[in-house]
A and B are shown apart, each in its own frame.
Chain A
């Protein structure tokens, strides 16, 4: 555990106090923020630690949403369904990961992107099970007041975020995290010294998918209705990357801050520029990449001071 991990958990504890202050809108935002943070933390395992540009978040989000939805329609209680979705996504992603992560760079990016398309088409065409393009209705969980429902889902999502953060911290400080770091820096050399790269990558991919799948399950139960174009939206794959780039690749604290900040920006943009919101998002992405390529964590107090009050003479 480093200092940034302690800050991360302190921050999460503060977030848990939100229902004391907020009304339903604040709770909705809080739930979304926790969901985004789960995405960003999960993506970070494979994209930040292992350095593989994965675009498959949307694939497992949709899969988790659908498996939870189908189970709940069969009468299975919410938490059990979400748990089953989590395990299902873990195993499936580990199996896919063992194969797909043999590809590198652009090829892996495309293969993971196409996973989203394939899953969406499969769900779209399995009309008997999923309702196809008509979407799937999901039974209400409690039926009590709006406020208690909102509070319940906020804490469910927050709990998931906490579990994800704990897992990511364990991964970062364990042999697995060390191995993934080695893979990012030089995969060939890492396997030369006896690291089982395939196993490590498969575990990483599984871990990066399972919490996303569980978040999808909670999301499905929360909104009561899902359809393929909603939950398999490719933007769900891209947003975590933008969040991670915003906060700082590889740092769990950074990506969580990135996720919260991103949600804030998205909400402001949605409110004010509903017609051109994705264009504004695009401008934001470009500015970010050009001017802050290493994310917010790369901003040091010292650097800001230098930028404001003049720079010392550099070596050239």
Chain B
């Protein structure tokens, strides 16, 4: 029974991890920028859901509809006015720039929301399903479904829409895309906006399950890193595979070694993957 419970937990958590990582992976893959603000975006999304529920009584599902366009615009503008200026600079510069932005956003959140942990508590509570001894909370199940849906939406967007194909084209070969008439700067901004929108939506979903505090942003960022490297960069199915693998390893690790070692275990996994298979489980040069 324990094995099945661990497996179910890993499935549920893995989809959420994929949702955390997918926007990060998109930005990294397309722009070649490690977006250190990603964790803070997620926390901001969680605060949005929390605030909307507690002050306006808006259910988190409607918050998703607000978060997606709001974060898209935020990300788009950020890329247009700041990141596009240094996009061709060495790794160190873009990395440090996003770190600086993260310091500002995180500090602003600590200033306004304080560092206390808060929790979005749905009223009435959703309860949980239990079959034999396996227990699955319903809110977690719904969040997982929504995370899968968002991931699928991104996949469709990249596969079917014109702008999605342009993003893939820029990722595959920037120079050829320019020759084909793609406006690379605006595609960068769209990709960054999409990354931010996905982070915001992931934050709304996280608010349903985990406590909210500005201090948790680095934990989300760490998860996104690991999932990206495990799954392969800039690949939707890779993010899913990476998320599931990470959740499974963490689950098994906490059963056998104790929860205190889960973080160490995931980082050891990260380093092993970086060295043995840096392209990740499903890493290829495209969004397949």
Interface 9-residue window, one of B177-185, B201-209, B235-243, B265-273: B265-273
- A238 at interface, CB cutoff 8 A: yes
Interface 9-residue window, one of B44-52, B56-64, B88-96, B155-163: B88-96
**Do the beta carbons of B91 and A285 come within 8 Å of each other?**
no
- Chain B residues, Cβ within 8 Å of A285: 96-97, 99-100, 103
**Do the beta carbons of A121 and B261 come within 8 Å of each other?**
yes
A114 to B263, CA, bound (A): 10
A275 to B92, CA, bound (A): 28
**Do the beta carbons of A105 and B91 come within 8 Å of each other?**
yes
A153 to B225, CA, bound (A): 39
**A-contact 0/1 string along B231-268, CB 8 Å cutoff:** 00000000000000000000000000000110110011
Of A105, A111, A283, which is within 8 A of B100 by CB?
A283
**B-contact 0/1 string along A70-110, CB 8 Å cutoff:** 00000000000000000000000000000110110111011
Chain B contacts with A in 172-190, Cβ cutoff 8 A: none
Of A99, A107, A125, A278, which is within 8 A of B261 by CB?
A125
**Do the beta carbons of A121 and B97 come within 8 Å of each other?**
no
- B85 at interface, CB cutoff 8 A: yes
At the interface, is chain B mostly helix, strand, loop or mixed? helix
- Chain B residues, Cβ within 8 Å of A122: 264
A113 to B95, CA, bound (A): 12
A279 to B111, CA, bound (A): 10
- A16 at interface, CB cutoff 8 A: no
Nearest Cβ on chain B to A267's Cβ, whole angstroms: 17
- Chain A residues, Cβ within 8 Å of B28: 106
At the interface, is chain A mostly helix, strand, loop or mixed? helix
Chain B contacts with A in 77-118, Cβ cutoff 8 A: 82, 85-86, 89-93, 95-97, 99-104, 106-108, 111
- Chain B residues, Cβ within 8 Å of A106: 28, 32, 34, 91, 95
Of B34, B96, B274, B278, which is within 8 A of A245 by CB?
B96
**Do the beta carbons of B274 and A107 come within 8 Å of each other?**
yes
Residue of B nearest to A110 (CB): B225
Interface size classification for chain A:
35 or more
**B-contact 0/1 string along A278-289, CB 8 Å cutoff:** 110111111001
**Do the beta carbons of B95 and A114 come within 8 Å of each other?**
no
Residue of A nearest to B222 (CB): A117
- B229 at interface, CB cutoff 8 A: yes
Nearest Cβ on chain B to A167's Cβ, whole angstroms: 23
Nearest Cβ on chain B to A121's Cβ, whole angstroms: 4
- Chain B residues, Cβ within 8 Å of A238: 96, 99
**Do the beta carbons of B96 and A276 come within 8 Å of each other?**
no
Residue of B nearest to A47 (CB): B92
- Chain A residues, Cβ within 8 Å of B111: 275-276, 279
A275 to B107, CA, bound (A): 8
A286 to B210, CA, bound (A): 32
Report which A residues bind B (CB closer than 8 A).
47, 53, 99-100, 102-103, 105-107, 109-111, 113-114, 117-118, 121-122, 124-125, 234, 238, 241-242, 245, 275-279, 281-286, 289-290, 293
Besides A111-B274, A283-B100, 16 new A-B residue pairs in contact (Cβ under 8 A), listed by A number: A99-B275, A106-B95, A109-B91, A110-B270, A114-B225, A117-B267, A121-B264, A125-B260, A242-B96, A278-B107, A279-B107, A282-B100, A283-B104, A286-B100, A289-B96, A290-B82
Q: Sample 30 A-B pairs with CB under 8 A, ordered by A number.
A: A99-B275, A102-B275, A107-B274, A109-B34, A110-B34, A111-B270, A111-B271, A111-B274, A113-B225, A114-B222, A117-B267, A118-B268, A125-B264, A276-B107, A276-B108, A276-B111, A278-B106, A279-B108, A282-B99, A282-B100, A282-B103, A282-B104, A285-B96, A285-B99, A286-B100, A289-B86, A289-B96, A289-B97, A290-B82, A293-B89
